[in-house]
Structure 1
Amino acid sequence: MSDEATRRAMDAVNRVFEEQVVGQGRFEALAEVYTRDALILPPGGEVVRGLEAIRGFWQQAAQALGVTACRLRPFETTMLGEMACEVAQGEIVAGSGTIPIKYVVLWKREDGAWKWHRDIWNASA
């Protein structure tokens, strides 16, 4: 797969997160976003391990914050063979307003598809 094709595949996964998971509340679609043994490192929280725990985290967080939308804007992607590192900015639209964020996602190919394997983010000041 060329770097351009990989970037398109990654962009499609990011759209699943933005449109289906956050926009429509379809948390089952997280199986298309995260690897089975993914980790997330939320700001101010403990490490969340595995797809089921990540699904529970996002459901609770979206409800608690009143999240209605998000936008992800990668600006740097480094290919590392069967993995890739994406650095990005974005924003979360919640009941309290728009929250600017920055994040790093370590991508991994799982069953032929690119997915988020490690995910860490925090608010931009």
Structure 2
Amino acid sequence: MQGEKHKADEAAIRRLDEEWGKAASAKKLDAVVGFYAHDGSLVWPGEPAVHGTAHIRASWKKMMDTIPGLNLRFTPERIVISDDGSLASDFGKVEFGHEVDGKPVMEIAKYVVVWRKEKGGWKVLYDSYNMNTEA
């Protein structure tokens, strides 16, 4: 948590993380894509990096269409806002719920998201995650 200077920005990003997870879980493709900057990038495991709205939409559509029971919940653990308030890094965990053979499964992943302030609001510039492994 940062000082008072960026308290409102940090709170806004925490709200966006919650809304983003709900939109993804409800398979609201347009809403999910709306969280991203037009020149945003996805850097997801096992997939080539993609850039721009059309490719982000295609990647999310593929996830929504091929993962039954998709349910995401982002829990930010550390948000750091740049001094000038134009960029923010958001590190945390994501609960990744889905179904395997019709049975619910919950996996935990780590994520790093870089947000950029655009027209007074925050948009995702870079979205990256990786799954935790069990020891």
Q: CA deviation at 1:15?
A: 2.1
Structure with the higher fraction of residues in helix conformation: 1
* Match in the other structure for 1:98: 106
* Match in the other structure for 2:122: 114
TM-score, normalized by length of structure 1? 0.90
Q: Does the CA contact (< 8 Å) of 2:91 and 2:113 recur in 1?
A: yes
> What CA deviation, in whole Å up to 9, does each residue of 1:13-52 have, x standing for no partner?
21221112x2221110124311110001010110111122
> What CA deviation, in whole Å up to 9, does each residue of 1:35-88 have, x standing for no partner?
110001010110111122111111111221214311111111111130011111
Matched, 1:79 2:81: yes
* Match in the other structure for 1:44: 46
User: Secondary structure of the residue that 2:37 maps to in structure 1?
Assistant: strand
List structure 1 segments (4+ residues) > 3 angstroms apart after TM superposition: none
Give the distance between the partners of 1:67 and 1:51, measured in 2 at CA: 24
Q: Does the CA contact (< 8 Å) of 1:13 and 1:115 recur in 2?
A: no
* Match in the other structure for 1:59: 61
Q: Which amino acid aligns with 1:71?
A: R
Q: CA deviation at 1:2?
A: 4.0
Q: Percent identity?
A: 22
Match of 2:12 among 9, 12, 18: 9
Aligned residues: 124
Over the aligned positions, Cα root-mean-square deviation in angstroms equals 1.6
Query: Structure 1 unaligned runs (5+)?
Result: none
Q: Does the CA contact (< 8 Å) of 1:71 and 1:90 recur in 2?
A: yes
Query: Structure 2 unaligned runs (5+)?
Result: none
Closer, same or farther: CA 123–88 of 1 in aligned 2, 3 Å: same
Q: Does the CA contact (< 8 Å) of 1:27 and 1:55 recur in 2?
A: yes
Q: Which amino acid aligns with 1:50?
A: G
